Every structure is written in C-alpha cells, then in structure tokens.
Amino acid sequence: MDFEFSPRTADLRRQLLEFMERYIIPAMPRYASELAAGSRHPLLVEELKQVARSEGLWNLFLPGLHDDEPGQRLSNLEYAPLAEIMGRVAWASEVFNCSAPDTGNMEILHLFATPGQRERWLDPLLEGTLRSCFAMTEPDTASSDATNIQTSIRRAGDQYVINGRKWFISGAAHPHCKVAIVMGVTDPDGPTHRRQSMVLVPLDTPGVEVVRDLPVMQHYSAEGHCELTFRDVHVPASNLIHEEGAGFAIAQARLGPGRVHHCMRSIGQCELALELMCARAAERRTFGKYLHQHGTVAEWIALSRIEIEQARLLVLKAAWLMDRAGPKAAAHEIAMIKALVPRVQTTVCDRAMQTFGAMGLSADTPLAMLWTWGRVLRVADGPDEVHLRSVAKQEMQRSVERRDALDAFLAPGANGVRAAT
C-alpha cells in the first residue's frame, strides 16, 4: 500500500487549496447572509461553479468517466485528499460538482443508464445544471435493513405506478433538484435481495409531494432533508434503472464510494476543528497558563492528532482496496471507516468546543455545526450498529478459519509461565 500523492493528485491538491483560499473561504460571509435572507441556493455557488470548471476542478470523483465527459477521471485514492480539502467548508463540494447525493446518483447512472436516461439525466448532472436526490429511507420501517423497504413499484403496461413514503431525503429541497432515484418493491414474493428495484421519478410528476423539510438536530440545511410521498405516481417503464430486482445490489454498489467521500470530508472537518482548538489553546489563558499548558488540554490535542491520523489511514486503505479490487472486496474496510470516522469527528469537535467554552456552542465558530454533521453521519448511509455488526460478522468468520492454529497458544505451559503445582 502506497498512499503518497501521485504527481497529478499533488498538483490538483495545490490547485484546490488555492481555489479554496481565493474564492470559497472569502465567500463564506456572503453565503451565510444569503441563507439568512431565505435563499435555498445562494447565487454565488453558481458563479463559483463556472470558475471551478474553467480551472479543471470539476467531477473529480468518478473514475470511469469517458473521454467525452467533463471531469478528471481520478481514482478513489486520488480523489480522497481532495474530498478532505472540500470538507472544510460544508457547501464547497457543490462548487466542484462533487456533492452528495448527486455523486452517488451519477455513479449509478454511469454504470446502468440507458441512452435515453443518460441524455435526460446523467449528462445534465455531469454538467452541473441540475441536482437530484436518492429516495430509499422510509419512516415506517427500519430502512437500515434495505430489505424492509415498503414503497411499492408496480408494473402497469408500459408504466410503473409508485406508492409510498420516504423521509430524510437529502437535497430534495434544493431548487435545482429535478429527479429522484426511488427504491421500492417490484416483486414482494421474490427472493429477499431481489424484491427491490430503482426507478427515476421526476419531482414534477403528478402524485409526488415534498411534504416537509425535516430539521436535523434542530437545524435546517440549505438543501433539505425532506419527507416525500408518492401517491399513484406513474412513470414510463423506461425509467427503470438496469433491471427489476437489481435495486438492493445497486444500493450496495452506490454506497461504497460515497462512504469514502463522506469520511474524507469528515477528516477535513476534524482537521479544521483541531486547528481551531490549537489556536484557541495558544492564545487563551486560565490560572496563569495558556490552555495548552494545562495537561488536560494538551492531552486533547495529542489524542485528536493521533485519532485523525489513524482514521485517515484506514480511509485511504479502503479507497486503495476499492480501486484495486472493487467495493465488494473493500466492504470490510468501508464498514470500519463508516463506524469509526463519525465518532472521531464528534470526539475531536467536542474537545474543541470545550476548549472554546461557551463560544464553541455558538455560531461564532463552525464547531457546533461540525459536531452536528459528525453525529448525523452515525446514522446517515447506514447506522453504526449495521457497520459494527458487519465487521463483527466478518471477524467471527475469520476466527473460524484460524481456530485450529490458535490451539497452540491455549495449551497448558505453552506461554512461558510455570504451571502451578
């Protein structure tokens, strides 16, 4: 495993850092003021998208781009440090057309879209002229087990009819969000993992309703996390993605790269929190000492650096393995990073907030927002418990394979200690 930046990644990383310093960070006050004035999508994002594309900082996430498609065609390992940089500002990814859930939807369509689907939906997504959402999670069932999905997708002649409820659908409130990829049941009596399918549903289709924007930890995001209902929604059968019964497999393929992207953005947010903690600890004094001279705060700083480095290396390993052997081969590592990184983020951010005192709880720093996003990620894209269960299951399988080799370590007198007489 070699995680050294390739020359191409090093160049893009320098270019991206310069872009962030020149354009994104100075625009943060304007973005916040436009949000405060009621905008769902500040105009400056569209302005900066044009600049980013002109500089080649566009579609950095998709390894399989064709020659006639805009973007850099980076591997997951090459993209990971760039996602880390983008993560420092919550809205930066959209400027480079690298924001969820569009990235995952583009990956699906890039693999499975028909020519008609590609022309109508994938090409505009790659161009950044529209946004999309991914509608899987439901309020009436434990959607962390995707086989529980209840939304019905019924074939009726040359159409599909969709009925169901979805919620916490990220991005559905974005004014440019025009289509949802909806996961539902097409064959309720089929094999457990072949019952589900995915269809493309334009959000202006009769019967689609965005019921409400759900607050997360009492905060509303600009793009929304929405509840949607589908009441006798008719779409052409040609809107089916890939084939009937492929929904579960497509969902698993979609989530692998996305979890790496999320985790690397989180690493970037952890780095920002640690930098802020150190800056505060270097200028604030209590009881005759700077904060970093107190043992407790020094320990927070040291542990945060250690934990961030550990988490980053595991994420890079997952990205490297995914590039070499595919998401399925990297499933163990992907589950580990998804369970680990959000916990590191909330821990590091909590220490930073404590270092700032009351100010750390306010909107005068980004720390409360960064902590909130870390806490959200313990549920989004699969809760901790699902990933920990997966890791434990694989460890137990490995244990069975190694059990005979362990007997020698359990024999009396084999471990260098004289047996009691």
Token pair, residue 52, equals 């980013």
Give residue 57's identity as a one-letter amino acid code.
L
Sign of the CA dihedral 133, 60, 387, 309? negative
State the first-to-last Cα distance of the chain, in angstroms, to the nearest integer.
50
User: Do the domain assignments include residue 409?
Assistant: no
Residue 1 pLDDT: 80
Last residue in a domain, options 83, 113, 143: 113
Residue 421, pLDDT score: 60
- Which CATH number goes with the domain that contains 155? 2.40.110.10
Q: Using a cut of 0.85, tell me whether the model's pTM lies above it.
A: yes
- Whether 223 is in a domain gets the answer yes
> Can you give the pLDDT at residue 207?
98
Same domain flag for 255 and 397: yes
Tell me the per-residue pLDDT of 313-347, one tens digit each, with 9 for 90 and over: 999 999 999 999 998 899 999 999 999 999 999 99
- Asked if residue 50 is part of any domain, the answer here is yes
Which of the 8 DSSP states describes residue 200?
E
Specify the CATH number for the domain of residue 388.
1.20.140.10
- Domain check: are 25 and 71 in the same one? yes
Structure tokens at 401: 């394979």
pLDDT bin (cut points 50, 70, 90) of residue 180 is: very high
Sign of CA dihedral 263, 264, 267, 272: negative
Q: Verify cis geometry, omega within 30 degrees of 0, for the bond prior to 257.
A: no
The answer on 366 and 392 residing in a single domain is yes
Q: What is the pLDDT of residue 408?
A: 85
pLDDT at 219: 81
Is pLDDT of 54 > 80? Answer: yes
Q: What is the mean pLDDT of residues 31-45?
A: 91
Q: Could you tell me if 221 and 286 lie in one domain? A: no
Range of the domain at 205: 131-240
**Using an 8 Å Cβ cutoff, are 149 and 162 in contact?**
no
Task: Examine the domain organization and report whether 209 and 290 are in the same domain.
Answer: no
Q: For residue 47, tell me if it sits in a domain.
A: yes
Same domain (yes/no): 303, 370 = yes
- At 48, which amino acid appears? L
- Domain shared by 150 and 189, yes or no: yes
pLDDT at res. 417? 64
pLDDT in tens, 242-296: 999 999 999 888 888 899 999 999 999 999 999 999 999 999 999 999 999 999 9
- The alpha carbon dihedral of 138, 136, 174, 154 has a sign of negative
**Is 201 found in the same domain as 161?**
yes
Using the 3D structure, point to which of 48, 82, 113 is the last residue of a domain: 113
**What's the CA gap between 109 and 106, in Å, rounded?**
5
Question: CA 42 to CA 21: how far, in whole Å?
Answer: 19
Q: Is 421 a domain residue?
A: no
Q: How many domains does the chain have?
A: 3
Does any domain span residue 321? yes
The dihedral built from the CA positions of residue 399, 404, 408 and 411, taken in this order, carries a sign that is positive
- Residue 416 within any structural domain of the chain: no
- pLDDT band with cut points at 50, 70 and 90 for residue 415: confident
The pLDDT value given to residue 40: 86
Boundary (domain end) residue, out of 240, 269, 289: 240
384-409 in b/e burial notation, b at 16+ Cβ within 10 A?
Answer: bebbeebbeeeeeeeeeeeeeeeeee
Together in a domain, 73 and 138: no
CA atoms of 220 and 106, how far apart (whole Å): 25
The closest alpha carbon to 134, from 120, 151, 115, belongs to: 151
* Mean pLDDT value across residues 114-122: 97
pLDDT value of residue 413: 79
Token pair in block for residue 356: 């700032």
What are the distances in angstroms from CA 201 to CA 103, 113, 258?
Answer: 17, 14, 21
- Mean residue pLDDT across the chain: 94
Tokens of 347: 């821990």
| Residue 299 shares a structural domain with residue 364 | yes
- Tell me whether residue 123 is in a domain: no
Are residues 234 and 263 part of one domain?
Answer: no
Residue 38 has pLDDT above 90, yes or no: no
Give me the CATH number covering residue 97. 1.10.540.10
Predicted local confidence at residue 420, as pLDDT: 60
Q: Are 292 and 281 in contact (CB under 8 A)?
A: yes
* DSSP characters over 343-385: HHHHHHHHHHHHHHGGGGGSTTSSHHHHHHHHHHHTTTTS-HH
Q: How far apart are CA 227 and CA 173, in angstroms?
A: 10
Query: With 0-12 CB in 10 A as exposed, 13-18 as middle and 19+ as buried, what is 155?
Result: middle
Per-residue pLDDT, 412: 84
Same domain, 286 and 349: yes
